[in-house]
């Protein structure tokens, strides 16, 4: 009888060990003084200090089927940036500072260089916001993932003083709604995009004059992070909404008090060409576009009218895109 090994079953411990060594050097570049365990221990140890009434804020998310674009193009260094930015933006909506991050990478066949490329992006994005990449899991799972497929998930822990939590409770009718531009699709809507354009090399390498680059380059543009832009302005903010799946119509109501609505003027900002291209090629209704995609607005900031100047002066790209109003019998979000 032939002797069976883990390698024969499709799992290479040697490849996993090599991947761990490759990614460790990148993770170590993100560590803060509060990290006590280093990289490679069974659990990440983080010394918590410096806050009077700390509230921990957590989030978990994935890159979704944007990974299929990365696989098709053999380019893996941007999806790590995507997941860190997504998670940082989510806890920023509560006013939190990122402390540490963990990742999960699952794939059918362990390719150490591929894992390293993903983690390089993770580490870069973590360094940019002072967040420690404290640990993670890389799993080789033949039979669950096939071919070049992989999954990428991120977990983040942040902190905010209890007195500085931003949850939308102070929002009032008449407050201004400010939009910060997205860098493209970010990490949402890729299943619909793949259905429209496909993921063949010829489709993704096609050059579009209106984009100024290939479709694949546009689709792999990293998710924008807003933490460094907004952290000093948080005292003037009454509400923040990270515009992800569900678009403006699905995410802004999450921060609005009962009885209020958001009125948007779509002419107040320029919709990037990629969304127009998707809508035309897919013959998609306008309402559906605003439900699926961010349509050029990656973060919504709600503030008192007297604080608009402070925010727009500090953020030249910011645009006043709407206003909070009494709801009555209207929908919670109206886009004209």
- What integer pLDDT is reported at residue 256 of this predicted model? 97
Q: Where are the beta strands (DSSP E) in 5-89?
A: 54-62
List the structure tokens of 90: 């989510």
| DSSP type of residue 287 | H
- What integer pLDDT is reported at residue 1 of this predicted model? 66
List the structure tokens of 228: 């460094």
- What integer pLDDT is reported at residue 217 of this predicted model? 98
Q: In Å, how far from its chain's centre is CA 323?
A: 25
- What integer pLDDT is reported at residue 33 of this predicted model? 83
The phi and psi torsions of 105 (rounded to 5 degrees) equal -125, 120
Which residues in the chain come in under a pLDDT of 70?
A: 1-2, 4-10, 12-14, 16, 19, 22-23, 38
Gap between the terminal Cα atoms of the chain = 72
How far apart CA 275 and CA 29 sit, in angstroms, is 36
Q: Which of 306, 85, 71 is nearest to 185 (CA)?
A: 85
Structural domains of the chain sorted by starting position, each given as residue range(s) with its CATH number in brackets: 13-164 (3.30.1330.10), 176-335 (3.90.650.10)
- What integer pLDDT is reported at residue 34 of this predicted model? 82
Q: Which of 314, 288, 167, 162 is nearest to 232 (CA)?
A: 314
Q: Which of 333, 167, 334 is nearest to 251 (CA)?
A: 333
Q: What is the pTM of this model?
A: 0.93
């Amino acid at each position: 009888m032939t002797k069976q090994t883990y390698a024969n079953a499709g799992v290479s411990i040697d490849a996993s060990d090599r991947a761990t060594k490759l990614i460790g050097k990148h993770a170590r570049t993100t560590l803060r003084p509060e990290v006590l365990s280093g990289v490679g221990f069974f659990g990440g140890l983080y010394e918590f200090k410096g806050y009077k009434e700390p509230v921990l804020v957590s989030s978990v998310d994935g890159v979704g089927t944007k990974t299929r674009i990365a696989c098709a193009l053999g380019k893996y260094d941007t999806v790590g940036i995507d997941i860190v930015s997504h998670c940082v933006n989510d806890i920023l909506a509560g006013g939190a500072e990122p402390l540490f991050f963990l990742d999960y990478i699952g794939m059918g066949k362990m390719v150490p260089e591929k894992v390293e490329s993903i983690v390089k992006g993770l580490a870069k994005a973590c360094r940019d916001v002072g967040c420690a990449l404290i640990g993670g899991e890389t799993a080789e799972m033949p039979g669950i993932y096939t071919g070049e497929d992989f999954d990428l998930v991120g977990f983040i822990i942040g902190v905010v003083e209890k007195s500085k939590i931003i949850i939308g409770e102070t929002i009032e009718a008449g407050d201004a709604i400010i939009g910060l531009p997205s860098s493209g699709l970010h990490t949402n809507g890729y299943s619909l995009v793949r259905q429209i354009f496909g993921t063949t090399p010829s489709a993704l390498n096609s050059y579009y004059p209106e984009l100024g680059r290939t479709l694949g380059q546009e689709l792999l543009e990293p998710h924008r992070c807003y933490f460094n832009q907004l952290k000093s302005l948080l005292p003037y903010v009454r509400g923040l909404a990270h515009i992800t799946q569900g678009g403006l119509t699905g995410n802004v109501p999450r921060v609005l008090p009962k009885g209020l609505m958001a009125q948007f003027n779509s002419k107040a900002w320029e919709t990037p060409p990629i969304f127009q291209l998707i809508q035309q090629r897919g013959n998609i209704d306008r309402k559906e576009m605003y439900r699926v995609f961010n349509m050029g607005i990656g973060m919504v900031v709600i503030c008192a009218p007297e604080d608009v100047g402070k925010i727009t002066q500090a953020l030249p790209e910011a645009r006043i895109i709407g206003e909070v109003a009494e709801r009555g019998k209207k929908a919670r979000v109206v886009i004209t």
